[in-house]
Structures are given as C-alpha cells and as structure tokens.
Amino acid sequence: MFSKMTYNIDWLKSQSQVDYLFFWGHQPSRDGSIIKTCMSQWWPSEFEEKTIIYKTAEHFMMAQKALLFNDAEIFEKIIAKESPKDVKDLGRQIKNFEAEIWDKHKYQIVKQGNYLKFSQNESLKHFLIQTKNKILVEASPVDTIWGIGLTEDSPKATNPSDWRGENLLGFALMEVRDKLKNNLKMKDLKNISKFLSLVLRHKPEEIGLTMDANGWVSVDELIEKCNNNKVSLDFDTLEGIVVTSDKQRFAFNDEYTKIRANQGHTVNVDLEFEATKPLEFLYHGTVEKFMNGIKSNGLQKMQRLHVHLSKDIETAIKVGSRRGKPIILKVHALKMHEKGHAFYLSKNGVWLCDHVPAEFIEF
C-alpha cells in the first residue's frame, strides 16, 4: 500500500501555476485509441493481484472493501460480475460496514488498484505518464468524494476553493503517475548501468572508448561517447549509478576524472590488486548444468580475468540465482592460500583468484 496523501486541495491552492486535465465517464474512443476516460474507475482493463483477476479498478475497490469487512460472500460475487455498475451496487450490500473504518482505508485502496491497473497495461501507463504534471480532476457533477461535484465547463472548475468535492480519484491518479515515472527512471538507470558494464568490462571498442592498461577511461570521453551512441548520460547520472549500485560495480579515481569497473573484465587489464590473505571459507554460487565440469576441473575463470568468490552464503545465492536455481559451493580458501594460491579483494568486496581446484571445494 501507499503512504498518506501527497496531494490535496490545500496543496493545490498553494500552487502558483497549474494546468488542469478534466475527465469523467468511461466511454472509449471511436477509433480504439486511449483517451482521458481511461482514468475512470469503470474503464474496462483487467489486471491481477495475488492470482485474482480484476476487470476494472471499481472491481478492485469494492472487492477490497468487502475483504476489509470480512464479507467473503460479497467478495466472490464482485469478482464474478462483469459490470462495474453491478459491482458498485454489491459494494453497498457489504455486511458489517462502518463508514469511519472505510474512510481510513478507501484512498489507499483506490491508489493501489489504479497502480495495478496502469502498471500492468502499457498503453494506459503511457497515457498516464504523458499527462506530465497536469492536475488530474474528475469533473463529475454527482460525485463529491472522488470527483469535484462540478462539470468540466463550470466556471468554478478551475478554482479549487469553489469545488464541491474532494477530487480523491484525481489526486490518487497523480500519485500513481509519480510512482510510474519513478519506476521508469529506475529502469532507465538499470539499462545504463548494464551498458556501462559492457563498455567498461568487455567491449570499450563498442563506442570507441580509450581504456588504459589499468582499466581506467576518461569520464568526459565516456559521457560524450555514450551520448553519441544514443545512451543518455551526464555526470550527475553517472555519479548516481556509481554511488547507489548495490554491487558497487564501478569506481572513480580521486579526482573524479576517470572511472573503471571494479572487476569482472574480459579485456586484459591490470587492476592493481594486492595479494590478500582470505577468510577461512569463501562461497561460490552456480547452477546444476555446470556441476560436472566443476567436479572435474574446479572453478575456472573462463573468459574473465579471475574466479569470483563471495564472503557469505547470502551473496553467493544472489549470484547463483542469476542463472537459475542456485547451488552454493563452499571453498576452503585459507587452505588454498596456505598451498600457495593467491587471493585478491576488489574494492566492492568480491574475492578473486585464478583457479579453485576441485580438492578445495565442498560439494
């Protein structure tokens, strides 16, 4: 669920310049294109939560209302109905209903339903996001809770002080739009991070990037050549990716003029690691299809410069899960070290070595 309301009429009154987008009704366009009536609770668009299919946002709202008051019978009827009008009528029949309790939960329920609706339908999501920062207003002349109690053509419609209703649906949709925008931004950052891994670990030539013997590239050159190759990047975005990466994949030099990947290279670079005494045990996450080869030949670096090992089981599980159901191997690292095998520790906490013979692995 979402937190408390971000937008309300008091907030709106404090804004100096606003652009309104009024909507009401749920009729589709003649040509099938998505129009502003898609923001109606009654707009037909199926979505799913916890294996249950909801035919409209109205279905979700009334079903959650029934669950809130433990009316399983009405809940089942709501899920089975096609018409949002019939669903609304069923919502009025919920047993043990208490207005005070409903008032505490209704806004969050409607927000959640609309987030599910718009996030699971690409065309609806695109429409809502492209409304940008407009104030969304349900111009229903008959609804003084979810709408403003006025029609779009009312001279009072653009003055929140004159509204007869609370516009809860409009404000809920604005919060949903914010969340969808944030999701999109995070997806973009993830894609940029993947591209940076490609050019800083494996293929700097992909964008004509000059990499020195230690894996460093110029920050200015990286930004310029990313943008020349249709990957939008500026310094603030680059810094954000470096700082917020949960795996700490990249690092700046002290002057922030150069950047490199911390490890994982397939290009031949010297990352200037110093040999370090390892923990007694380290861990490696893999999957079943590689097990026969590991049992025969141990862990090999393959195309990478090193074998990667994790300091704990939890991290190894995450690594192994990228390829399927993880199998965690326990490596007797300290015994390896005592036998002359060198270990290195990268800046982001990954243990590295050239090879792990099978005799040092617990299967």
Query: What is the set of domains in the chain, with CATH numbers?
Result: 9-181 (1.10.357.40), 203-261 (1.10.10.970), 282-362 (3.20.170.30)
Q: Give the pLDDT of the chain (363 residues) as one tens digit per residue.
A: 445 799 999 999 999 889 999 999 999 999 989 999 999 999 999 999 999 999 999 999 999 999 999 999 999 999 999 999 999 999 999 999 999 999 999 999 999 999 999 999 989 998 999 898 999 999 999 999 999 999 999 999 999 999 999 999 999 999 999 999 888 788 888 899 999 999 999 999 999 999 999 999 999 999 999 989 988 888 888 888 887 766 778 988 877 899 999 888 999 998 888 899 999 999 999 999 999 999 999 999 886 778 999 999 999 998 899 888 999 999 999 999 999 999 999 877 889 999 999 999 999
pTM above 0.75, yes or no: no
What local confidence, expressed as pLDDT, does residue 168 receive? 98
Q: DSSP of 198-216, one letter per residue?
A: IIIII-GGGGT----TTS-
Q: How far apart are CA 319 and CA 342, in angstroms?
A: 22
Q: Minimal CA–CA distance to 129: which of 66, 83, 177, 190?
A: 177
Amino acid code (one letter) for 200 = L
CA atoms within 13 A on the CB side of 83: 5
Strand partners, 135: 20
Question: For residue 270, how many other CB atoms are within 10 A of its CB?
Answer: 10
DSSP 244-286: H-TT--EEE-TTSSEEEESS--SS-----PPB-PPPS-EEEEE
CB 265 within 8 A of CB 211: no
φ/ψ of 345, rounded to 5, equals -120, 115
Residue 187 CB neighbour total at 10 angstroms: 10
How confident is the model at residue 246, as a pLDDT?
A: 64
Cβ neighbours for 70, distance < 8 A, ≥ 6 positions apart: 96
Coil, helix or strand at residue 351: strand
Tell me which residue of 184, 178, 167, 182 sits closest to 21, measured CA to CA: 167
**Measuring CA to CA, which residue among 2, 47, 48 is closest to residue 168?**
2
